[in-house]
């Protein structure tokens, strides 16, 4: 019994911190190319893992601040693959806890290319913006269920559809380190796990 009380206490302490946090696995497809060269756009596809939290002003609010981070593998036809690491900041409207309920996320993105384990190699970086539509996939909770069996901390699934545009400020690998900016525009799909609590 003491072990259960200890575990319950830890979960109660963790619930305010973890509730609203989410982790997602997804992919993207689109087009990309080099800026200012007349280059024909290439097919682009990506896969990655991202995490974020929505900071809400009070427990009853659905609108808050989106803070996230991601690591991604990006592939562009004829050019090969690359890894990147970045962060995001913006607006989040979390879905209602009803099956099929939509939300909205708008955020700016910034980060770095990862080259042989080095961040910002030759000053390489990226900037972009994302608009996402998360859809709640968990059954609705009845008030009687909450009273009889409250969730201290549990998980819920979301489907996430998104559109994104990014500018990549790449540099050549020779001594000149000339700027060779690239761009892409992609559509994404992800499965997201979100932590939720009846105490929040």
Show the domains of the chain with their CATH numbers: 2-196 (2.40.160.20)
Q: What is the pLDDT of residue 146?
A: 43
The pTM of this model reads: 0.81
Residue with tokens 């708008």: 106
CB 21 within 8 A of CB 51: yes
Radius of gyration of the chain (CA): 20
Q: What is the pLDDT of residue 153?
A: 55
pLDDT tens digits for the chain (200 residues)? Answer: 455 555 545 444 444 455 578 899 999 999 998 887 777 888 999 999 999 988 877 767 788 899 999 999 999 887 788 899 999 999 999 888 888 999 999 999 999 999 888 899 888 999 999 999 999 997 765 444 444 544 555 778 899 999 999 999 988 777 777 888 899 999 999 999 887 765 45
Burial of 188: CB neighbours in 10 Å, binned 0-12, 13-18, 19+: buried
């Amino acid at each position: 019994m003491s072990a259960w009380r200890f575990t319950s206490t830890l979960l109660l302490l963790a619930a305010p911190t973890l509730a609203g946090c989410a982790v997602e696995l997804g992919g993207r497809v689109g087009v990309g190319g080099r800026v200012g060269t007349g280059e024909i756009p290439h097919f682009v596809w990506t896969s990655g893992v991202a995490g974020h939290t929505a900071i809400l002003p009070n427990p009853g609010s659905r609108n808050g601040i989106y803070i996230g981070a991601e690591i991604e593998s990006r592939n562009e036809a004829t050019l090969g693959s690359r890894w990147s690491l970045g962060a995001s900041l913006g607006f989040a409207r979390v879905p209602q806890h009803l099956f099929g309920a939509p939300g909205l996320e708008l955020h700016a993105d910034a980060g770095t290319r990862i080259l042989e384990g080095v961040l910002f190699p030759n000053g390489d970086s990226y900037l972009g913006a994302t608009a996402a539509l998360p859809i709640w996939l968990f059954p609705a909770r009845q008030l009687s269920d909450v009273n009889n069996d409250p969730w201290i901390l549990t998980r819920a699934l979301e489907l996430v559809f998104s559109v994104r545009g990014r500018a990549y400020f790449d540099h050549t690998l020779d001594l000149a380190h000339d700027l060779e900016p690239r761009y892409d525009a992609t559509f994404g799909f992800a499965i997201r796990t979100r932590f939720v609590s009846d105490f929040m």
